[in-house]
Amino acid sequence: MTALLEVENLTKHFTVGDGLVNRLAGRRSTVVRAVDGVSFAIAPAETLGLVGESGCGKTTTGRLVLRAVEPTAGRIRFDGEDITALRERALLPFRRRAQIVFQDPYTSLNPRMPVGRIVGEPIMVHRLAARGAVPERVTALLEMVGLQREHAGRYPHELSGGQRQRVGIARALAVSPRLIVADEAVSALDVSVRAQILNLLIALRERLGLAFLFVSHDLGVIRFISHRVAVMYLGRLVEIAPAAELFRRPLHPYSQALLAAIPTVGDGRTSMFDQPGRLIEGELPSPMNLPRGCRFASRCPQRMARCREVEPALVSAAPNHLVACHLYGDENNGQGAAAPVSLRPPGPEADTAL
Amino acid sequence: MTDAPLLDVRGLTVEFETDGERLRAVDEVSFAVRGGEIVGLVGESGAGKSLTSEAILGLIPCPPGRVTGEVRLRERNLLALDEAALARIRGKDIAMIFQNPTASLNPVFRVGDQLHEAMALHLAEPRPTLRARAVEILTRVGIPSAATRMRDYPHQFSGGMAQRVMIGMGMSCVPSLLIADEPTTALDVTIQAQVLALIRRLARESGTAVLLVSHDLGIISQMCDRVLVMYAGRVVEEASIATVFRAPAHPYTRALIDCLPRTEATAQLGTIVGVMPGLRALPPGCRFHPRCPIAEPRCTKETPALRALGSGHRVACHLASNGAP
Amino acid sequence: MARQLDVEGGFAPQATTAEPTLATGGLRRWWRRFARNRGAVFGLGVLLLIVVMSVFAPVLAPHDPLAQGVGPPLQRPSLDHWAGTDSFGRDLLSRIIYGARIALVVGVVSVALAMAIGVSLGLAAGYYGGWLDIVVMRAMDALFAFPIIILAIAMMAIMGFGVVNVIIAVAVGFIAPFARVTRADVLAVKEEPYVEAARLAGVSGPAIIVRHVLPNVLAPIIVQAALRVSGAIITEAGLSFLGLGPPPPTPVWGSMIAEGRNFIVMAPHVSTFPGIALMLAIIGLNLLGDGLRDTLDPRLRR
């Protein structure tokens, strides 16, 4: 099955401190390697969860995939077409097929536009309906996301956070995209509203065959909505696996640490916080001053000498389960089975638990 | 732990006067915290939990606010004290830490100086002693090279480190009660775990009681001994952690627990229809009745009072009983 | 999530935080808040008075403002001539009423012109950035550096006299502030997610500027405009005072004040009354501008 989205060695470096004053003062600028050689693929109607903590580059990756940010290096292929270097005008067809849902319902909608126009704008830009037919389309979209026809005349500030997020989803759906990048789409919502929106997204993807790149820091949400999960740390992918597999058997020490750190609902007798050694220590190294070798080595409870020297490549440790860790690559003299450059998503027989 | 509670809140009510209307954001909240206990105050945004904790320390500007009721710390009613007396208590008997540590630290002063000042206000010890104490505290909260770091400014600390500094400041005078208002909401998961573990360890070590305000039931379940569930300004359930997760009695509590995405597979997330009512549109009777799956006509007319269901278990619901529907 | 003591929505960002803005139908609410500011209401009254005076001048003025000798020259205020007469025996009150016309027209039109040009420049510079931004803003800096009066004098010297030229001269002086204020807000607004959403939906640059950016930067611009009208009027008065305004015998407050200079001791009313009219207009418009700013600028709310 051909992948819908294929990302190869995607890289984004930000230069910091190269303004005029700094240059005059003779200070060297530093490079922040926000996204550093990330490769993955998403199949049609598949949801890939992209998870990691702040500074890992997941949000930037989501933006890169949509060409909202220009990549420093790497390739992006959508539906077989290389869109990495296309100019804005040539990107218009792509903009119809890939959309975004933002995190903050309070700033993602134009406060001076009524909902109907917000949702209708993409339809008009891409001339997907005759002028007179637009209100009908808008009503259909609003109803699809659980709102009513009347909402079209309201302004964003008259709606609740959950309702605004629904409007954002309707806007994304207006062009009938095949891929949606959800950038922390439920993180700003209350728990009960979050659940409503997640259920809505699942219903929509089933109905419309949507693929998602679901970026989030919340592992519970990721587990719930993703078919496969990719874990990022400091700009690189450290593990990719089907969701159930990752949560059942995380291989990378960072994934293990992440999962161990989530406060799940316990039994009230023992507390995870009373168990020393269970929780990982240390802080993220500065992204401007990356250590040599594995980026996680400074905090890794299982680090070896190699880890400080050589950066591990993403290798296959189990079927459909890739890890970037020396613990799993040593049998090939540290070379590891190099990950195939375009990572095929698993076929229908893989464990995609839902 | 003595029998008399350390903190006894009775009928705490917070109202605001705005545009000619009087809105009640916290409505007759009553609970107690015993010495050394960790109590959780959980609710979604708008439930009034942060206001409750701020009201305890007299941090609500009045006017436009109006705080009534009783907040007894041992035997003294904090609401009846003047600002000077309250200032002596804040930091010493009751300390508070907030969600955003960098907002609580003055950006133009070194961290060590701020820590030192916090202690000097309440402890009558000589400067060198306090300085040494400050280094000791920073080390204890897990800041490496504390002596050097004392001379750094707040912006040089990451979020997690800054929160550790705040915890250090809060615990520096060994308060009887630490109020933590969403202390880790702005932090990454792994850092959050470290910070929470730190709070729990320090509190247990010094016998400090903790009132932990959060919207995250997972955190509450791992940190607290007891929990209070708030909805639209009122307490709807109070129970021990074991009880509330094993047999939640209030429909809202149950629904809230159902909404949590777990790391095991689930097909659909439980949801609660609608949203929490704003202060201007509070429903009559039980405030949860418009969203309640088992609401009866009685619920639309009579406001349920908090009644005891078992030892240490109180619910504000007409229909709840032990092991109920 | 920032914690603010925003009581409106019941501390629940999830619940409807109904604080409608002016453009979104909150007219009545806005008016209530505006009306609480007595100075602003006074200013609004002044503005209305000036408008009425301008529009109905032929009806309100007791005499022809240009007619000389309707009364004895330099006569003090009397029942026939409520404001007295000037050195040509013209009725001062009629001249003041007609003078409101010029003040209003110059004030409003020059600001409108400056706004049209300045806002367009600010939008383009702010949104597109790059060299366009650099070139435009440096040009604005240069313009800004000139005191408006000097600039106006220079332009009048080149262009000659007349109401239209005064309008242009004054307008030029106000382009830079509009460009700056607009650009500053555009820089902030263009980073908002809804603008990015429009970009990612394929909306073109100009369309984004008009549909998404402009409506959201309008409020401070309107406030600027209101505040600048008084500045425009004063500038015009200054120019007229210096003899660079519309040529006599056009009744203009500035030149009327100048005319009365020579008689300041024996007939102070000739300068004083136009002066008072000018002063009231300026104070009133400033108060109106302040009132608008306090109610329209979302940043200053509570």
The answer to whether the peptide bond before residue A345 is cis (omega within 30 degrees of 0) is: no
Nearest 10 degrees: CA dihedral of A7, A9, A222, A253?
150
**Closest in C13, C15, C17 to B277, CB measured:** C15
Residue A283 in domain: yes
Locate tokens 């597109």: which residue? C128
Here the CATH number for the domain that contains residue C183 is 1.10.3720.10
Interface probe with C: pick from B14, B15, B17, B19, most Cβ of C within 10 Å: B19
The answer to whether the peptide bond before residue B290 is cis (omega within 30 degrees of 0) is: no
* C194 lies within 8 A of chain A by CB: yes
Tell me the shortest Cα–Cα distance from C23 to chain A, in angstroms: 7
Number of Cβ within a 10 Å radius of residue B205? 11
Locate tokens 């995607």: which residue? A10
DSSP B246: H
Give the model's pLDDT for residue A346.
45
**Closest in B44, B50, B278 to C9, CB measured:** B278
3-class state of residue B119 by DSSP: helix
Interface of B with A in 259-318 (CB under 8 A): 259-272, 275-276
B112 pLDDT exceeds 60? yes
Paired tokens of B178:
């630490």
Residues of A in contact with B194 (CB under 8 A): 279-281
3-class state of residue A329 by DSSP: coil
Nearest 10 degrees: CA dihedral of C85, C91, C95, C98?
160
Mean pLDDT, rounded, of chain C? 82
Query: Cα-atom radius of gyration of chain A, to the nearest Å?
Result: 22
Give the model's pLDDT for residue C122.
95
**CB distance C194–A95 less than 8 Å?**
no
C292 pLDDT exceeds 90? no
Q: State chain C's maximal CA–CA distance in angstroms.
A: 75
Tell me the shortest Cα–Cα distance from C193 to chain A, in angstroms: 5
| Interface predicted TM-score (ipTM) of this complex, two decimals | 0.84
Q: Stretch B194-207: mean pLDDT, rounded?
A: 92
Give the model's pLDDT for residue B182.
93
d(CA A192, CA A202): 16
Locate tokens 């809060």: which residue? B170
**CB distance B271–A199 less than 8 Å?**
yes
Locate tokens 């993409």: which residue? A122
Give the neighbor-by-neighbor strand order of the sheet with B38-42: B94-97, B177-181, B209-214, B38-42, B226-231, B234-240, B313-315, B307-310
C144 pLDDT exceeds 90? no
* B276 lies within 8 A of chain C by CB: yes
Residue A324 in domain: yes
Residues of A in contact with B219 (CB under 8 A): 263
Interface probe with A: pick from C194, C210, C211, C218, most Cβ of A within 10 Å: C194
Residue A287 in domain: yes
| Structural domain that includes position A336 | 249-349
**CB distance A95–C193 less than 8 Å?**
no
Q: How far is CA C98 from the centre of its chain?
A: 19
User: Are the beta carbons of B217 and B296 closer than 8 angstroms?
Assistant: no
* Strand ranges inside chain B, DSSP E: 7-18, 21-33, 38-42, 65-73, 76-77, 94-97, 177-181, 209-214, 226-231, 234-240, 307-310, 313-315
Residues of C in contact with B61 (CB under 8 A): 5
Give the model's pLDDT for residue C7.
32
Terminal CA-CA length for chain C: 18
**CB distance A157–C192 less than 8 Å?**
no
Residue C213 in domain: yes
* B139 lies within 8 A of chain A by CB: no
Give the model's pLDDT for residue B38.
95
Could you give the number of structural domains in chain A? 1
**CB distance A265–B221 less than 8 Å?**
yes
Paired tokens of A137:
């389309």
**Closest in C14, C203, C215 to A190, CB measured:** C14
* Strand ranges inside chain A, DSSP E: 5-16, 30-42, 47-51, 73-78, 81-82, 98-101, 179-183, 211-216, 228-233, 236-242, 315-318, 321-323
Residue A290 in domain: yes
Residues of A in contact with B217 (CB under 8 A): 191, 265
Could you give the number of structural domains in chain C? 1
**Residue B48, phi-psi category: left (phi > 0), alpha (psi -120 to 50), beta (remainder):** left
d(CA A342, CA A75): 10
| Structural domain that includes position C118 | 26-301
Residue A19 in domain: no
Number of Cβ within a 10 Å radius of residue A202? 18
Locate tokens 């296309």: which residue? A86
Query: For B147-160, what is each residue's pLDDT tens digit?
Result: 888 999 998 888 88
Domain regions of chain B by residue span: 5-231
Closest alpha carbon to C83 in C74, C73, C93 = C93
Interface probe with A: pick from B269, B276, B288, B291, most Cβ of A within 10 Å: B269
Q: Determine the Cα angle at A96 with ends A94 and A99, to 5°.
A: 90
Tell me the shortest Cα–Cα distance from C40 to chain A, in angstroms: 26
Query: For C41-82, what is each residue's pLDDT tens digit?
Result: 888 888 888 888 888 888 888 888 888 888 888 888 888 788
* B223 lies within 8 A of chain A by CB: yes
Give the model's pLDDT for residue B264.
59
The number of C-beta contacts closer than 8 angstroms across A and B is 139
d(CA A300, CA A281): 9
Terminal CA-CA length for chain B: 36
Give the model's pLDDT for residue A268.
66
Residue C88 in domain: yes
**CB distance A125–C203 less than 8 Å?**
yes
Give the model's pLDDT for residue A70.
92
**pLDDT classification of C89: cutoffs 50, 70, 90:** confident
User: Are the beta carbons of A40 and A339 closer than 8 angstroms?
Assistant: no
**Closest in C7, C12, C13 to B18, CB measured:** C7
**Closest in C16, C19, C215 to A159, CB measured:** C16
Residue of B nearest to A254 (CA): B190
User: Are the beta carbons of A43 and A1 closer than 8 angstroms?
Assistant: yes
Q: Stretch C110-135: mean pLDDT, rounded?
A: 94
d(CA C164, CA C102): 11
Residue C19 in domain: no
**Counts of helices then strands in chain A (DSSP H, E):** 10, 12
Touching partners of C (3+ C-beta pairs < 8 Å) = A, B
Touching partners of B (3+ C-beta pairs < 8 Å) = A, C
What phi and psi values does residue B237 have, to the nearest 5 degrees?
-155, 145
Locate tokens 């200013």: which residue? C43
Q: State chain B's maximal CA–CA distance in angstroms.
A: 67
Q: How far is CA C192 from CA A88, A107, C187, in A?
A: 20, 6, 10
Q: Stretch C190-208: mean pLDDT, rounded?
A: 93
Interface probe with C: pick from A112, A117, A118, A190, most Cβ of C within 10 Å: A112
Tell me the shortest Cα–Cα distance from A275 to chain B, in angstroms: 9
Q: How far is CA A21 from CA A16, A25, A27, B155, in A?
A: 12, 6, 9, 22
Residues of chain A with pLDDT under 50: 331-354
Instruction: Give me the count of residues in chain B.
Output: 325
Q: Which amino acid is at A91?
A: L
> Please, what's the b/e burial string for B44-75 (b: 16 or more CB within 10 A of its CB; e: otherwise)?
bbbbbbbbbbbbbbbbbeeeebebebebbbee
Closest alpha carbon to C190 in C239, C133, C146, C230 = C133
Give the model's pLDDT for residue B322.
52
CATH of B5-231, one of 3.50.50.60, 3.30.450.20, 3.40.50.300, 3.40.50.720: 3.40.50.300
C269 pLDDT exceeds 50? yes
3-class state of residue B233 by DSSP: coil
d(CA C200, CA C267): 70
Touching partners of A (3+ C-beta pairs < 8 Å) = B, C
d(CA C229, CA C232): 5
Residue B200 host element (H or E):
helix B189-206
Locate tokens 């880790």: which residue? B184
3-state SS track over chain C: CCCCCCCCCCCCCCCCCCCCCHHHCCHHHHHHHHHCCHHHHHHHHHHHHHHHHHHCHHHHCCCCCCCCCCCCCCCCCCCCCCCCECCCCCEHHHHHHHHHHHHHHHHHHHHHHHHHHHHHHHHHHHHHCHHHHHHHHHHHHHHHHCCHHHHHHHHHHHHCCCHHHHHHHHHHHHHHHHHHHHHHHHHHHCCCHHHHHHHHCCCCHHHHHHHHHHHHHHHHHHHHHHHHHHHHHHHHHHHHHCCCCCCCCCCCHHHHHHHHHHHCCCCCHHHHHHHHHHHHHHHHHHHHHHHHHHHHCHHHCC
**pLDDT classification of B245: cutoffs 50, 70, 90:** confident
Residue C96 in domain: yes
Give the model's pLDDT for residue A263.
85
Residue of B nearest to C302 (CA): B18
Q: Which amino acid is at C59?
A: V
Residue A8 in domain: no
The answer to whether the peptide bond before residue B5 is cis (omega within 30 degrees of 0) is: no
